[in-house]
Amino acid sequence: MPNLAKGSRKLLNAWAFYDWANSVYSLVIASAIFPIFYQALFKSAGVTTVVVFGGTIRSTPLISYTTAAAFLLVAFISPLLSGIADYVGNKKNFMKFFCYLGALSCMGLYFFSIENIHISLLFYFFGLIGFWGSLVFYNSYLPDVAFPEQQDRLSAKGYSLGYIGSVVLLLFNLGMVMFPEVFGFGEGGAASVKAMRWSFVSVGIWWILFSQYSFYFLPKGNKSGKKVSTKILLNGFRELKGVYNSLSENIQLKRYLAAFFVYSMAVQTVMLVATYFGEQEIDWGGDNAKTMGLILSILIIQLVAVGGAIITSFASEKFGNIPVLIVINIIWVGICIVAYFIVAPNQFYLTAGVVGLVMGGIQSLSRSTYSKFLPDTKDTTSYFSFYDVSEKIGIVIGMLIYGFIDQITGSMRNSILFLVLFFMVGVFLLLRVPRNKKC
DSSP per residue, 324-341 = HHHHHHHHHHHHHHHHHH
Structure confidence by residue, pLDDT tens digits, 349-407:
999 899 888 887 888 788 788 888 887 765 666 777 788 788 888 888 888 888 888 88
- Sequence letter at residue 192: S
pLDDT top residue among 152 and 25: 25
Minimal CA–CA distance to 67: which of 215, 275, 235? 275
312 is a domain residue: yes
Structure confidence by residue, pLDDT tens digits, 140-196:
788 788 887 788 788 878 878 887 888 899 889 988 988 899 999 888 778 888 999
Average pLDDT over residues 318-325: 90
> Highest mean pLDDT: which of 237-251, 268-282, 321-335, 402-416?
321-335
Check residue 439 and give its pLDDT: 67
Q: Is the pLDDT confidence value at 108 over 60?
A: yes
pTM: 0.77
pLDDT top residue among 272 and 378: 272
Q: Is the pLDDT confidence value at 226 over 60?
A: no
Q: Structural domain tally of the chain?
A: 1
Check residue 371 and give its pLDDT: 82
Q: Provide the phi-psi class of 376: left if phi over 0, else alpha when psi is between -120 and 50, else beta.
A: beta
Answer whether 243's CB lies under 8 Å from 383's CB. Answer: yes
pLDDT top residue among 93 and 303: 93
139 to 91, 186, 363, 388: CA distances (angstroms): 11, 42, 12, 9
Average pLDDT over residues 90-104: 91
For position 217, which CATH number holds? 1.20.1250.20
pLDDT top residue among 407 and 341: 341
403 is a domain residue: yes
Give the number of other CB atoms < 10 A from CB of residue 213. 15
1 is a domain residue: no
Structure confidence at residue 225 as a pLDDT band (50, 70, 90)? low
325 is a domain residue: yes
227 is a domain residue: no
d(CA 262, CA 259): 5
Structure confidence by residue, pLDDT tens digits, 201-219:
999 999 999 999 999 998 8
Q: Is the pLDDT confidence value at 294 over 60?
A: yes
Q: Is the pLDDT confidence value at 314 over 70?
A: yes
Give the number of other CB atoms < 10 A from CB of residue 408. 10
436 is a domain residue: no
d(CA 83, CA 236): 3
Number of H helices, E strands in the chain: 16, 2
160 is a domain residue: yes
Check residue 297 and give its pLDDT: 86
DSSP per residue, 349-397 = HHHHHHHHHHHHHHHHHHHHHHHHHS-S-S-HHHHHHHHHHHHHHHHHH
For residue 332, give every residue at least 6 positions away whose Cβ sits within 8 Å of its Cβ, in sequence order, or none.
Answer: 263, 266, 267, 270, 358, 362, 423
> Highest mean pLDDT: which of 9-13, 119-123, 140-144, 367-371?
119-123
4 is a domain residue: no
Q: Is the pLDDT confidence value at 221 over 70?
A: no
d(CA 214, CA 182): 34
Check residue 222 and give its pLDDT: 57
Structure confidence at residue 292 as a pLDDT band (50, 70, 90)? confident
Q: Is the pLDDT confidence value at 200 over 90?
A: yes
Answer whether 355's CB lies under 8 Å from 335's CB. Answer: yes
The helix (H) or strand (E) run that includes residue 183 is: none
The helix (H) or strand (E) run that includes residue 56 is: strand 55-58
Provide the mean pLDDT of the chain.
84
Structure confidence at residue 68 as a pLDDT band (50, 70, 90)? confident
For residue 168, give every residue at least 6 positions away whose Cβ sits within 8 Å of its Cβ, in sequence order, or none.
Answer: none
Check residue 232 and give its pLDDT: 61
Structure confidence by residue, pLDDT tens digits, 242-269:
777 877 778 888 899 999 999 998 988 8
Answer whether 60's CB lies under 8 Å from 398's CB. Answer: no
Check residue 228 and give its pLDDT: 42
Minimal CA–CA distance to 333: which of 261, 401, 267? 267
- What's the burial of 227, exposed, middle or buried (CB within 10 Å: 0-12/13-18/19+)? exposed
Q: Is the pLDDT confidence value at 338 over 70?
A: yes
202 to 29, 62, 176, 401: CA distances (angstroms): 11, 25, 11, 33
Answer whether 384's CB lies under 8 Å from 330's CB. Answer: no
Residues of the chain with pLDDT > 90, as a percent, come to 27
d(CA 322, CA 179): 46
Domain that holds residue 302: 9-221+232-431
Minimal CA–CA distance to 35: which of 64, 56, 72? 64
Structure confidence at residue 1 as a pLDDT band (50, 70, 90)? low
Average pLDDT over residues 27-33: 84
DSSP per residue, 195-256 = HHHHHHHHHHHHHHHHHHHHHHHS-------PPP-TTGGGHHHHHHHHHHHHGGG-HHHHHH
d(CA 299, CA 13): 24
